[in-house]
Structures are given as structure tokens and as C-alpha cells.
Structure 1
């Protein structure tokens, strides 16, 4: 069953200057969303590498376009590394190979035996549970630029399929 390994809340800074193709007269609204999120946990360490993209969908009007409402989508890439604290330890893969040498008293040549062990573990999955955007925007019409400053707070769960013995809880 999927086991919750840890919960991570992290802030991603958004400091972006967006060059516009034409000058905007009025920004009506900006809607934010998460386009992608990739999480890579490096076991056995407690470091997770995060990267993704935010999408800012900007609705605006412009006198040159007869004040019709237009939209512009802007992709903002980001990356970050975080330390995590395990609520439950993840299963980790394991591989070991050994060589044993045997030699009988009456034989001159040694005899070799080998042993190999391997344990498999499911990969750690991430689920974005919540995102919270806070930002300030400043429009510079003369230079055709939009300055956005803020942050996105991401709440991410890390899960791994593990065998859980439920009988031990019923006693």
C-alpha cells in the first residue's frame, strides 16, 4: 500500500521580468498554475531536487487592439533543492555479491563459490497537494515589460509502495 514518507512545504521565489510584444494599457487579471513538477529523491540521503514550471495567464486590454480583452501565457521555469525529514523511512534497494574460497586439505587448487543478493524497492512518488501564490506586479508600458515579484508555496507529499503487516496492529 502507499505509505506517506514525508510532507514538504517549500517556497519558490518568483522574480521575473516579462518582455511584452506590445505595450499593455491595463492588466485585468493574472491566473497562476503549476505546469509541471518533478521531484527526485536521492537515497539514502535526505535531499530532494525539485524543478518545474509555473504558468502565468495574463488577461489584458490595449487601446491599439480596440480595448479587446487578450490573454498571454508566460512560462516561468524554476528549480530548488531541499532537505526532508522522514516520517517513515523509505525502502531502499540493496545489492551485494560475495566470493568464498574453499580448499580441502588434500587438494592444491581452491574451490570458489559465489553469492549474490538483491533487494528491490518501489520508487518514491510525489503528489502536489496544494499551491499558494502571492505576488505583486508592476507594468512598465513604455519599456513593454511586466515585473512580477512574489512566491509560490508548494505542499508536496512523498509516497512509496511498501508492504505493511496489518496483523501487527490488530493484536
Structure 2
């Protein structure tokens, strides 16, 4: 129930951003969120360095990863909340029964990416980020090196991010748990 309004808001924000109605940035909480997946298939990828801003005006450097479509198998997402009784983990699991989590027009502001193995198709590195064209409506600042590819496949992927948005998000086999203690995805 908590995730559905957030997904709806993200859908509106990204849809409006892609149509040019609003900017693609929003103020982030600054709390690291961890995501892991056994297999990630991305179609139409654009990547570049940028910054996000917290409510108190602090700018945090991030690596923007945008995709036209992402399919994630065995997805786990978690973050920690401080509480009077100690840390609390919010943990979401989806795409575990052979059907992937599917995201359309996804934009993620990451602070860490790693994979056991990644394969890029039609790879371009060093292209000016302002000229990236694999994800409609998404480009970076002029003069910043960018990366793009028609497809990316990553196995045993891990990511730490501060924000993500998607025009559409389909979460089969969704389970959300609030757990006392530290029970992160990795």
C-alpha cells in the first residue's frame, strides 16, 4: 500500500518530464537504497555523471542511469530507517516466480553499481552527455562524458541509489516487509 502511491507519483513525474512539462529532477531524501537482482536486461541505455539535491540544499554527486525498458529478475530493494528501538529495514522483493519486474522509462540516480558480468551492445563511451539519444527526453549536461548502448545485460547486479523514477512499473510477486534490525539486500 505504501509503494503504490509512490509508484503512481513517479509515473506522473517521469511522464511529465519526458513530455517537457516539468524538470526531471526532484529533491531527494539522501537515504541510500540498495537493490540487487539476479539478472537485469536493459533496452536503450544512457548514463552520465550529475548531482542531486537534498532538502537542506546539499548536492550529492550521482551517476544517472536511464533506460527505455528494464527487466529485473529476482529483484530485492531495501533501505534502513533509524528508530527508537534501533535500525528498521524496509525490504521489497518482486519478480521471483520467473516473471520479471518491468520498468518503462526508468531514471536512477546511483552512487554505486556493480555486476558479476555485464554485456553492452552498440556501446558508446565518451559521447557528450547532451547528445545522448537512446532514451527519449533524457540527456546530460554539455561537456560531460556520457555512455549509451542499445542494450545492457547484467548478472548478479548490485546498486546503491538515492532516487529512481519510472513512467510505468510492473511488480509481479510483490512482497514488502518492515523488519526490525539490519536485513538489507546485500
Q: Which structure has the greater CA radius of gyration? A: 1
TM over 0.5: no
- The answer to which structure has the higher strand fraction is 1
Q: TM-score, normalized by length of structure 1?
A: 0.23
Q: TM-score, normalized by length of structure 2?
A: 0.22
